[in-house]
Amino acid sequence: MSRILSAVQPTNNLHIGNYLGAIKQWVELQESNETIFFIVDLHALTVYQKPELLRQNILDVARMYLALGLNPNKSIIFVQSHVKEHAELAWILGTIVKMGELERMTQFKDKIESLSEITGQIKNLEMLIKDETRIYLAPVTAQEILDYIKKRGHSNVGLFTYPVLMAADILLYDTERVPVGEDQKQHVELTRDIAERFNKLYGKVVFTVPEPMISQSGARVMGLDDPAKKMSKSAASAYNYISLLDDVATVKKKIKKAVTDSGAEVLGGASRPALNNLLTIYSLFSDKSVTALEKEFAGKGYVDFKNGLADALNAFLEAFQEKFHAIKESEARDILADGAARASTRSALKMAQIKEAIGLI
């Protein structure tokens, strides 16, 4: 029995990487632990979100949590911005975090890099607008992206201090274990450093030092269009990921287009990153081992394999989507309000301890 906490950002719909790398574990963990799972809307603001889309995404992610099996009777489920202590503690922690520590965060470096690519993309965007081309499947138009970049600039301070808010999320609830994908491990390690530094500085054990918890298989689902990079909802192309709300035809199309390795054999292994990824996904959605799948498709080639994979995915997604659509927005809002009330009771107590320790009156 441990105190366990995790969260995802309400940016776009969740994809199968978020499910396999995160939420699937959460559902199992809530059975025999004290669990808190929330939606980090304040973190999402570090990248421009269209207000009406953000509102929709927050509620959709909540409904996805519930449809995937998170149970409000077993877990506290809420929205980050509904519990004011998250932002409040982030400020306090920011005063003991070093600039250099944040500069070393790989997620920050990656984001900055992709933002500087935008400079090059501005020219492309201007061309797209002139040609009146629609960006495929993008939730915003090229004109909107361009206006935003011009208005707000590429980078922002929130992107830099993002891990400090995440540390506040974790430390507010005396969290012992944090289940996340491999990509978030560095942020949890920074959180540990911050907790230890704070306790030492003020001579009191105010914060519990959390452990990251990385699930082994499915920890890093790679992009369908590029198996060298993780599947991500912020990927440039929708062919990178399978969204939990993709329909049957879309899944078939995306799997058909997924890149494969050279050769024609259905075999995984480190030297075959594309097939390795597809086999892992297939295995996790079919409960067959990778070895069993390699045997099943021996001598059959990629087409049969991809059809089988798309069917396995669609079987899961259809059952999920039925549950998702049955959950009303009003129901989700009630559950979130109740979760925020329960979380606030704890965070207010913790905040009082913190203020006492540092000398705020």
- What residues are labeled active site? 111, 230, 233
Place of tokens 């890093």: 220
Among 41, 60, 169, 246, binds ligand TRP (CB under 6 A): 169
Q: Which of 167, 227, 231 is nearest to 197 (CA)?
A: 167
Place of tokens 């509904």: 82
170 binds, among ligand TRP, ligand ADP, none (CB under 5 to 8 A by kind): ligand TRP
Place of tokens 């574990």: 25
Residues 46-105 that bind ligand TRP (CB under 6 A): none
Give least dist CB 330 to ligand ADP, A.
26
Among 44, 170, 281, 313, binds ligand TRP (CB under 6 A): 170
Answer whether 10's CB lies under 8 Å from 54's CB: yes
Phi, psi torsion values for 211, nearest 5 degrees = -110, 135
Interatomic CA distance for residues 26 and 75, integer angstroms: 9
Which parts of this chain interact with ligand ADP (CB under 6 A)?
Answer: 8-9, 11, 17-18, 20-22, 180-181, 183-184, 219-221, 230-234
Residue 9 interacts with ligand TRP (CB under 6 A): yes or no: yes
Amino acid identity for residue 293 in this structure:
L
Per-residue burial over 71-101, b = 16 or more CB atoms within 10 Å of its CB, e = otherwise: ebebbbbbbbbbbebbeebbebbeeebeeee
Nearer to ligand ADP, 128 or 190 (CB): 190
DSSP 133-145: PPPTT-SS-HHHH
Nearer to ligand ADP, 107 or 307 (CB): 107
Q: How many chain residues bind ligand TRP (CB under 6 A)?
A: 14
266 binds, among ligand ADP, ligand TRP, none (CB under 5 to 8 A by kind): none
Nearer to ligand TRP, 173 or 302 (CB): 173
Give least dist CB 301 to ligand ADP, A.
27
Interatomic CA distance for residues 283 and 217, integer angstroms: 10
Nearer to ligand ADP, 128 or 284 (CB): 284
Residue 171 interacts with ligand TRP (CB under 6 A): yes or no: no
Q: Is 207 helix (H, G, I), strand (E, B) or coil?
A: coil
Q: Which residues contact 290 (CB under 8 A, 6 or more apart)?
A: 268, 279, 280, 283
Give least dist CB 17 to ligand ADP, A.
3
Residue 34 interacts with ligand TRP (CB under 6 A): yes or no: no
Nearer to ligand TRP, 63 or 111 (CB): 111
Give least dist CB 231 to ligand ADP, A.
4
Among 4, 7, 90, 224, binds ligand TRP (CB under 6 A): 7
Helices (H), the chain: 16-18, 24-29, 41-44, 51-68, 85-94, 99-103, 106-131, 142-152, 157-171, 185-202, 248-257, 273-286, 290-296, 302-326, 329-358
Residues 187-246 that bind ligand TRP (CB under 6 A): 187
Residues 115-134 that bind ligand TRP (CB under 6 A): none
Nearer to ligand TRP, 178 or 274 (CB): 178
Give least dist CB 95 to ligand TRP, A.
19
- How far is the CA of 217 from the CAs of 181, 221, 292, in angstroms? 10, 9, 16
Residue 184 interacts with ligand TRP (CB under 6 A): yes or no: yes
Nearer to ligand TRP, 8 or 93 (CB): 8
Q: Where are the beta strands (DSSP E) in 3-47?
A: 3-8, 34-39
Q: Is 323 helix (H, G, I), strand (E, B) or coil?
A: helix
Residues 253-292 that bind ligand TRP (CB under 6 A): none
Stretch that binds ligand TRP, among 3-11, 50-58, 267-275, 327-335 (CB under 6 A): 3-11
Interacting residues toward ligand TRP by CB under 6 A:
5-9, 40, 43, 166, 169-170, 178, 180, 184, 187
